[in-house]
Each structure stands twice: as C-alpha cells, then as structure tokens.
Amino acid sequence: MIESHLPAYIALTFVLFSLLIPAFGIWRNELSQPIAVLGSGIAAALSLYGFIDYLNDGAIRYYFGGWEPPVGIEFVYDGLSGFFVLVINVVAFFVLIHSYHIGNREFPGKEMPYYTLAMLMMLGFNGMILTGDLFNLYVFLEISSLSGYALLSIGNKPAPYAAFRYLIIGTLGGTLYLLGVGFLYTVTGTLNIIDMSAMLPQLFDNHAVFVALILMIVGIGVKAALFPLHGWLPDAYTYASSSSTALIAPIGTKVAAYILFRIVLWLFGIELTDAIAPLLTIIGVLAAIGILYGSIMAIAQSELKRMLAYSSISQIGYIIMGLSLANPWGFAGALLHVLNHAVMKACLFMVSGQLRLKEGHSDISRFDDSYRKKYPWTMAAFTISAISMVGLPPLAGFFSKWYLVLGTIDNSNWLFLAVILISSLLNAVYFFRIIEKVYMKNPVSGQKEASDATRDEAPWSMIIPTSVFAIGLIVIGFANAIIVTILLGIYPL
C-alpha cells in the first residue's frame, strides 16, 4: 500500500510539516526545530524504504488524481530519482538535528519561520526530483528557490543583498528554463518527460528543440553553479547563517545536477544532445574550468565558509564533468560523488557552524592549535572530511575520483584526467593548511601553549551529526562497490 503511493507521501510529509510548524510554532517557538527534525526524519525513512523497494520491485509511477500521463501529472520514482531523494533527505535530517544550537545563536526567536521555510524548501527539492512533468518541475524549482532565497537572507548584515543577487539570477535561470519548456511544448505537444523522450528522437535536427535544450541547460546551470554561472554562490553561502548554508550547500546544487542528468541522459539522450553542436563537450569543458577555478579561488580564501563555498563550485564541476563523459564509469563516478560530496560538504559546513558557535568566527588565519584540545571530536570530523575531499583511500572521496578517472580514460579524454588529478592536489593545499594550523604549534608566532586550553567541545546535538557523517564517509568508502553496482544499473544507455 505504501509503496504505490510512496512518491506522493514523501512530498506530502513536507507539506504536512510545513503546516504543522507554524501551527505549533506560534504556540511554542521551541517546538519548531524538533517538529522539523521529525518531518525530515519521516521523509528520510520513507526515502530509504522506497529505495529498497525500488531495488526489489522496480520503478514506481504515481499518477496524481488517477489521471494518466500525458494528460495528468505524475511522480516517477526510478533509480535516479530514488537515489537523489535518499541522499538529500538523509543529509537534511542530520543537518536539521545539528541546527538547534546554531538557531539559538544566529536567529533567535525566528525558529518558526526558519524551519517552515526549510520544510518548504525540502518540499521543493523533493518535488523537483520526483516529478515526471517538465512544468511541474518549474513549479517545484521556484518553490525551493524562493524558500532558499529567504533562508539564505538570514545571517550576517550582507546576507539579504547576497540573497537578492541570487534571487535575480536564479529567477532569471528559472525563467529561461521555462522558456525552454515552452519551446519543447510547442514542438511536441506534451510536458511529460517519459512521453516526450519517446518523441524527441524523431526531431533530430529541429532547431527549436536545440535552442530549448540550451535554454534549459543554461537555466538549470545557474542553479547548479556551472561555470560561468556560479557568481552568486560564494557570497550567498558565506553570508548566510551556518545552518542555512549547511542545508542548502550539499543539496541545492545536487538537485540542479539531477535535472541536468535527467534532461541530458533521459529526456534527450546523448545522440540528440550532441546532434547540432557538441553540447556535452562544451558542458564538460565549462565544468573542468569550474573545477580549477573553484580550487584555485579556495586556496586564496582566508575565511572558512568562503573557502568551502569555492570548493563547492569545484566539486559540482566533477559531477557535471562526469555527466559530460556520457559513459557508465563517468555516470557512476558522478552519482557516487553526489552522495560523497553531499555528506562531506554537509559535515564541513556543520563543523564551520560549530566553530562559529564556539569561537565566534571562522577566520582561518585565527585558527590555532588550541582547537585540537578544545574541540577534538569536531576537528576529527573535519580531518576525516578533508582527507576524503582530497581523495585518499579508503575514504569515500577517493572512489568517486577513481570512477571519474576511469570514465575519462574510457573517452581518452586526457585533459579531463589531468584536471581531476591537478585539482586533487589543489584540494590538498587548502585543506592541509587548516589541518596544519589546528594540529601543530605555530612555530613563528609562539602562541600560548595548547595544553593550557581545556576541552570545550560543542554540544551533543552537533557532535553526533558530524560524527555520523565522518564515519559515514569511511563506510561509504568500503561499501562503494555495492553502491556503484546499483548506480551502474541505473545508467539508461
């Protein structure tokens, strides 16, 4: 019973809880966060159940109101959407647990609207992933975006401005996407993804279809921070509150990447995408530039959150590069990296939130080795995530790079191979810099002895999520063969 309605239940959970939170929150503000955690927990459990069900029984197509496509709107729970839904809901669950103390400090008294917006945003993300209708996707895109803009505007003084800039360019992107959908509708007469994918191969050299594809890629590329449409990301992530960033950073760009996967691999297919112009190559090159650009800029940063923001631009580049390779290894590597990066980045942003909570700042030049004594668990989680980002086995980050490397070799794309290797080195530079600062006495400045500092670790509700993610990276690393076998099975071609 649950299985057939599952896609709707996941979205419904978030709708329900986005109503429950104001209901209870007006009465008692402190209830907002626990209810939000409960809601995302239910959604995460449903996602897990659904994915296991998918592995056993296959995809679920849920028709809203009983109207069959192409007349009605449907939710499609297949391997790709099931995987993404699982990743984002589990990550969101832990981040919401973690946000309790940050809320107290960074937006006291405003928990009710904050968590309502968080629920709405998760609704939007889940809807985007699950829907099988292009216009419905636009609606959910806007739902998630608008709540996202609002969430990102809570934070430091420049936060509303950063959120406004994101709003302008994000809405522009969404509108371009909508225009693309309009072109496709004009040509095919349907909005249903599965339906349209059957029609498109016959429209091989139709220019409207080609332009639609470009519009959609550009539009979604804004959301995915594809170079050169990434300009909104550093400011938006830096100035927002720590838990907003921790919620949006691991999830937002991934969902946009999902849409790109869906459009390029499922809706259009590789031959059609490359029919008139080598779009996949162009996307791949842009992704490669983004990888290098993000890594280089990250090295230049002195503030932890901004460094992580540029690092995110770099990492999403890996995923899109994996897409552009259009072969099974690249696909598996990209999807595995979706999982890995979501976990790693969530952990890193949560750690930065903990440091801000305890120290009042996350300025790298002011890190010193008293952190090692004061926050052992926090810095341990940071170190594990950092080593995974650099890509050292047996942590998860190594394996997604391994499969991407195999993918580039399959295409004889030596340039991309070099980009992946060089960027791993660059990652090592900016992460080891912090590890050096935290674990070792600074020999030049001769600060106070670290042993003076006493343990002042962050509260349990913050340690547990970061530790779970850190351990999760080790587990994913060892279990990646199982995961990748599933992912290879999802590959549509």
Please identify which residue in 146, 260, 316, 348 interacts with other proteins, judged by CB under 8 A: 146
Torsion-angle region of 177 (φ positive above 0: left; ψ -120 to 50: alpha; else: beta): alpha
Phi, psi of 435 (to 5 degrees): -60, -40
Distance, in Å, from the CA atom of 426 to the CA atom of 491, rounded to the nearest integer, reads 31
Say how many C-beta atoms besides its own lie within 10 A of residue 443's C-beta: 6
Please identify which residue in 227, 402, 416, 469 interacts with other proteins, judged by CB under 8 A: 402
179 binding other proteins? (CB under 8 A): yes
* Distance of closest approach, residue 287 Cβ to other proteins, in angstroms: 19
Distance, in Å, from the CA atom of 18 to the CA atom of 117, rounded to the nearest integer, reads 7
Nearer to other proteins, 138 or 310 (CB): 138
484 binding other proteins? (CB under 8 A): yes
405 binding other proteins? (CB under 8 A): yes
Please identify which residue in 22, 113, 393, 492 interacts with other proteins, judged by CB under 8 A: 393
> Which of helix, strand or coil describes residue 227?
coil
Query: Among positive and negative, which fits the CA dihedral 6, 8, 9, 10?
Result: positive
User: Which of the residues 66 through 125 are near other proteins (CB under 8 A)?
Assistant: 71
Please identify which residue in 399, 416, 430, 469 interacts with other proteins, judged by CB under 8 A: 399
* Distance of closest approach, residue 98 Cβ to other proteins, in angstroms: 26
Are the C-beta atoms of 38 and 24 separated by less than 8 Å?
Answer: no
Helices (H), 159-206: 159-188, 193-199
Q: 């921070």: which residue's tokens?
A: 225
Q: 């779970």: which residue's tokens?
A: 468
Structural element, H or E, at residue 192: none
Give the angle subtended at the CA of 319 by the CAs of 152 and 228, to the nearest 5°.
60
409 binding other proteins? (CB under 8 A): yes
480 binding other proteins? (CB under 8 A): yes
* Distance of closest approach, residue 193 Cβ to other proteins, in angstroms: 16
Which range of residues in 12-20, 150-158, 310-318, 460-468 is near other proteins by CB under 8 A?
A: 150-158
Which range of residues in 41-49, 51-59, 159-167, 278-286 is near other proteins by CB under 8 A?
A: 159-167
3 state SS for 256-294: HHHHHHHHHHHHHCHHHHCCCCCHHHHHHHHHHHHHHHH
> Which of helix, strand or coil describes residue 61?
strand
Helix, strand, coil share of the chain (percent; to 5): 80, 5, 15
Please identify which residue in 160, 231, 269, 492 interacts with other proteins, judged by CB under 8 A: 160
Nearer to other proteins, 16 or 488 (CB): 488
Residues 53/58/63/67 CA torsion (nearest 10 deg): -150
Which range of residues in 7-15, 20-28, 146-154, 246-254 is near other proteins by CB under 8 A?
A: 146-154
462 binding other proteins? (CB under 8 A): no
478 binding other proteins? (CB under 8 A): yes
Which range of residues in 106-114, 177-185, 266-274, 288-296 is near other proteins by CB under 8 A?
A: 177-185
Please identify which residue in 74, 78, 106, 142 interacts with other proteins, judged by CB under 8 A: 142
225 binding other proteins? (CB under 8 A): no
| Rg of the chain on CA atoms, in Å | 22
First to last CA, the chain: 31
Distance, in Å, from the CA atom of 482 to the CA atom of 480, rounded to the nearest integer, reads 5
* Distance of closest approach, residue 234 Cβ to other proteins, in angstroms: 13
Which range of residues in 141-149, 259-267, 359-367, 456-464 is near other proteins by CB under 8 A?
A: 141-149
Query: Among positive and negative, which fits the CA dihedral 171, 174, 176, 181?
Result: negative
Which range of residues in 81-89, 246-254, 391-399, 468-476 is near other proteins by CB under 8 A?
A: 391-399
Residue 131 is classified by DSSP as B
Which range of residues in 100-108, 256-264, 428-436, 455-463 is near other proteins by CB under 8 A?
A: 428-436
58: CB partners within 8 A, 6+ apart: none
Binding-site size for other proteins (CB under 8 A) equals 59
Nearest to 330 by CA among 222, 411, 249: 411
22 binding other proteins? (CB under 8 A): no
481 binding other proteins? (CB under 8 A): yes
Nearer to other proteins, 9 or 83 (CB): 83
Kindly list the residues in this chain that would bind other proteins in the complex (CB under 8 A): 71, 135, 138-139, 142, 146, 149-150, 153, 157-158, 160-161, 163-164, 167-168, 171-172, 175, 178-179, 182, 185-186, 189, 387, 390, 392-394, 398-399, 401-403, 405-406, 409-410, 417, 421, 424-425, 428, 432, 436, 440-441, 443-444, 478-482, 484-485, 488
